[in-house]
């Protein structure tokens, strides 16, 4: 039985200790770029066609790749949608951290800026459509439902932790209550103002409530702090039971 021909030059390289030319690494970069393109295309398909007509073939076509290539990265529609939800979580988390770590705004003002952005983003066309479609999918798919629930839990936990680290002297229960309330208003805004922006109470009026809510529930977040992260004035926030 004949031996398989050896690759030309391979023996010489082994004997002489010569190294093979370093393999370029664009494959990983290309793969990552492909995944990002697939996920963004998935969001666009969800926006344009809705959850009922959302298919991996449509996503592959929108991404400019073959269906087989898409299946190489995502085995099915469910995995793709879970990846989209994870991508949204990462995107929002990065935005939250950017707002809350901006040295140009003291703690309190940066929270207000973040919430104003979040509440405004929640009623934008893309965000409203994206989440409404995902909500609809979650009613029929327990995996997507769990992924969305995890999305909200992780997003709120992330903001809570950032605020706790910045103000260790603030009551954790008060921070958690504030974050949950702000998140609830944000998601409710997508329902009330997402497709009907003109209401009796303008959305701009709702935005004016941001500093009032922070001051009512966790006023320490609006006050100057000492080197230990404790607000200078006495606590006056409402009592919250854990």
**How high is the pLDDT of residue 241?**
39
Domain identity same for 95 and 202: yes
The last residue of one of the domains, among 16, 50, 75, is: 75
pLDDT of amino acid 18:
46
Question: Is residue 1 a part of any domain in this protein?
Answer: no
Q: Classify residue 8: in a domain, yes or no.
A: no
Q: What per-residue confidence (pLDDT) applies to 32?
A: 86
Do 64 and 120 reside in the same domain of the chain? Answer: no
Question: What pLDDT score was predicted for residue 12?
Answer: 40
Look at residue 2 and tell me if it is in a domain. no
For residue 210, the domain's CATH number is: 1.10.357
Q: Partners of 231 in the beta sheet?
A: 225
Give a yes or no: residue 102 inside a domain: yes
What's residue 145's pLDDT? 96
54 and 152 in one domain?
Answer: no
Q: How far apart are CA 100 and CA 223, in angstroms?
A: 15
What pLDDT does residue 167 have?
Answer: 86
Environment class of residue 231 by beta-carbon count within 10 Å: exposed (0-12), middle (13-18) or buried (19+)?
A: buried
Q: Is residue 228 part of a domain?
A: yes
> Which tens digits make up the pLDDT trace of 210-239?
999 999 999 999 877 655 555 554 444 334
pLDDT at 198 over 50: yes
- Name which residue leads in pLDDT, 27 or 85: 85
CA atoms within 13 A of residue 59's CA, in its CB half-sphere: 31
Same domain, 126 and 107: yes
Answer yes or no: do 67 and 111 share one domain. Answer: no
pTM: 0.78
45 with 162, same domain: the answer is no
Mean pLDDT for 106-110 is 84
Task: For the chain, give the mean pLDDT.
Answer: 84
Do 113 and 46 lie in one domain? The reply is no
Residue 156 shares a structural domain with residue 225: yes
User: Quick one: 228 and 155 in the same domain?
Assistant: yes
Beta bridge partners of 225: 231
CB 218 within 8 A of CB 105: no
Of 48, 75, 102, the position where a domain reaches its end is: 75
Domain holding 47, by residue range, is 26-75
Instruction: Write the pLDDT tens digit of every residue in 24-57.
Output: 444 444 578 899 999 999 999 999 999 999 999 9
Residues 91 and 64 in one domain: no
Residue 14 lies in a domain: no
Single out the residue in 75, 92, 111 at which a domain terminates.
75
What was the pLDDT predicted at 80? 97
The alpha helices in 101-219, defined as continuous H runs, are 109-122, 125-138, 142-166, 172-192, 203-207, 210-217
How many domains would you assign to the chain? 2
pLDDT digits (tens, 9 = 90+) for 119-177: 999 999 999 999 999 999 999 999 999 999 999 999 999 999 999 988 888 999 999 99
Please report whether residue 19 resides in a domain: no
Domain co-membership, 92 together with 191: yes
Name the residue among 104, 98, 92, 192 with its Cα closest to residue 151.
92
Residue 20 maps to a domain: no
CATH number, domain of 43, equals 1.10.10.60
C-alpha dihedral sign at 64, 68, 72, 75 = positive
Question: How many Å apart are CA 45 and CA 157, to the nearest integer?
Answer: 30
Q: In this structure, are 174 and 219 located in the same domain?
A: yes
């Amino acid at each position: 039985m004949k031996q398989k021909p050896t690759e030309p030059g391979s023996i010489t390289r082994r004997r002489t200790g010569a190294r093979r030319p370093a393999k370029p690494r664009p494959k990983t970069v290309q793969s990552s770029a492909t995944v990002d393109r697939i996920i963004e295309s998935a969001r666009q398909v969800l926006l344009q066609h809705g959850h009922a007509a959302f298919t991996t073939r449509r996503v592959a076509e929108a991404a400019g790749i073959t269906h087989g290539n898409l299946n190489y990265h995502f085995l099915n529609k469910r995995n793709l949608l879970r990846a989209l939800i994870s991508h949204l979580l990462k995107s929002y988390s990065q935005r939250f951290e950017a707002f809350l770590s901006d040295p140009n705004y003291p703690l309190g003002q940066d929270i207000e800026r973040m919430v104003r952005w979040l509440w405004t983003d929640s009623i934008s066309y893309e965000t409203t459509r994206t989440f409404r479609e995902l909500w609809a999918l979650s009613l029929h798919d327990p995996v997507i439902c769990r992924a969305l629930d995890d999305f909200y839990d992780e997003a709120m936990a992330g903001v809570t932790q950032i605020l706790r680290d910045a103000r260790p002297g603030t009551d954790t229960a008060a921070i958690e209550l504030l974050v949950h309330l702000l998140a609830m208003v944000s998601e409710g805004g997508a329902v009330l103002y997402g497709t009907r922006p003109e209401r009796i109470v303008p959305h701009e009026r709702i935005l004016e409530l941001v500093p009032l809510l922070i001051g009512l529930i966790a006023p320490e977040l609006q006050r100057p702090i000492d080197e230990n992260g404790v607000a200078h004035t006495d606590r006056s926030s409402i009592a919250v039971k854990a």
